[in-house]
Structure 1
Amino acid sequence: MSKLNLMTTIVDRNQVRKYLHLYEEEGQQIMLVTLGDGTASGDVLDYLGLEATEKAVIFSVLTDENFYKTKKSLQKKLQIDAPGGGIAFIVPFSSIGGKKALQFFTVGQDFQKEEESALKDTTYELVIVIANQGYIEMVMDAARGAGAYGGTVIHAKGTGMEQAEKFMGVSLAAEKEMIFIVAKKEQKNDIMKAVMEQAGLDTKAKSIVFSLPVTDTAGLRLLED
């Protein structure tokens, strides 16, 4: 049995090609790249031997087994543990929106589905939708209709999707929007179902949706009230 995880890698932008090349060598098929900026204070940067640089953020999908394999490669080939080397971490999926999305995420990986939800006692879930650029309102109209209050959009570009595209007929090698929606756990399934039905793979949005467990929150008192 396997767990499926969202792996997030944060590195200097001038290093991103090396990381993408390594991930392609490791057989990773699902990768989305976006940009960010480091915000650490000068004292922290000096302590860690870092400079305030522009960052790249890589999102990919891996089983536990493949993450540990990739982790070893990151440490050995790219010295990620050295000061300024970057950071990579995983968060377990709690659910995936449909069989097609599961097949898409696991293409090229040895994956056996286990019981849904890695964490049982969470109050909230982070629903993430990957959609074609220009269809944010279609996604959010569906999500709001199922009880979502709002979302945050991150612009990203897909890479390394050749096998997944051939297998599923869905390409992420184009401009994409990643929509992050925090919702109560009991609303999660309704929101994911609405997005799948109204903005899913059979629509122009071509949305893929999944969720991650949220262990604690701040600033969501209105939702609780």
Structure 2
Amino acid sequence: MHEYQPQMALHSAVHAVVAIVDSGQGARVLHICRENHVLLDFVCMAHGTARTEMLDLLGLGETPKEVVICLTGETAARRLLGRLGSDMKMRYPGRGIAFTIPVGSLGVRLHKLLTQEEPKEGQEMNSTGKNEGYDVVAVILDQGYTSRIMDVARREGARGGTVITARGIAEDEVRQFFGIEIQAEKEIVFLVVRSGEKQRIMTEIMKAAGLNTESHGIVLSLPVSSAIGLAD
């Protein structure tokens, strides 16, 4: 029997759109996502920890927040950001904030579903990069499997992770494509890893907790432009 080797898009055309709004406004964000044919969203509760003057500057206030994270193609991400700005008046203080983050690496199947196109470059997740910077590896999976992720990640060199809870929401097209139920309680694990170790760590995580496992995990990476507190 051949060992399962996940495939990924090394140069992803997928972006994460992140919207942070007051509690109760997440449904409006999701409605706009649906109108823009975004297939995959994750919603979690949060609370600001910035100082009062920073919260005032951003117009966020101190109320509980909802964080909506959408995965979609680059063009759709720009369009969605424009809709959020106009429909939810995010151009004015106190209406929330939204931004996009390019996804560095992503599984080929999910990349194709979200962008409706083949990735520019696809290969097995077994290459070793030479970049000595850092990336964030994000793992979105069903609740109850975090310890499995962390065991694998630590074994491959990651030092620790941050976990938040979320609720997954997906269109029927996603469920039909993967044959799994996305609309369930989720955990999102964030790992900051060296760029040269990223591919190996993602490979092992996908083997242990990818879409083909009972945890139905989605593994992706996000670039880190700068970081502190990560010295050896």
Instruction: Report the TM-score when normalising by structure 1.
Output: 0.86
Partner residue, 1:187 = 197
Q: Kindly tell me the number of residue pairs found equivalent between the two proteins.
A: 215
Q: Which runs of 5+ in 2 are unaligned?
A: 1-10, 123-129
How far apart are residue 124 of structure 1 and its match? 0.7
1:171 to partner: Cα distance: 2.2
The answer to whether 1:113 aligns with 2:123 is no
Query: Per the alignment, do residues 151 and 49 of structure 1 end up closer, same or farther by CA in structure 2, a change over 3 Å counting?
Result: closer
Cα distance change on mapping 1:191 and 1:80 into 2, 3 Å: same
Q: Percent identity?
A: 35
Query: Quick check: 1:31–1:158 contact (8 Å CA) kept in 2?
Result: yes
Could you tell me which of 196, 204, 213 is aligned with 2:214? 204
- Partner Cα separation in structure 2 for residue 192 and residue 50 of structure 1: 34
User: Runs of at least 4 residues of structure 1 off by over 4 A?
Assistant: 44-50
Task: Please report how far the alpha carbon of residue 44 of structure 1 lies from its aligned counterpart in structure 2 after TM superposition.
Answer: 4.4
* 1:30 and 2:62 correspond: no
What TM-score does the superposition give when structure 2 sets the normalisation length? 0.84
- Aligned CA distance change for structure 1 residues 2 and 45 (closer, same or farther; 3 Å): closer
Q: Give me the whole-angstrom Cα distance separating, in 1, the residues matched to 2:170 and 2:70.
A: 10
Q: Distance in 2 between matches of 1:206 and 1:73?
A: 31
1:100 counterpart (100, 109, 115): 109
Cα deviation digits, residues 103-142 of structure 1 (max 9, x gap): 45x1xx44452358xxx96611100111110001111112
Opposite residue 196 of structure 1, the aligned amino acid is: M
SS in 1 for 2:79: helix
1:10 aligns with 2:24: no
d(CA) in 1 for partners of 2:147, 2:12: 34
Q: Does residue 51 of the first structure (1) align with residue 80 of the second (2)?
A: no
For the residues of structure 1 that align with 2:177 and 2:57, how far apart are their CA atoms?
47
Find the partner of 2:80 among 66, 70, 79. 70
Cα RMSD (Å): 2.2
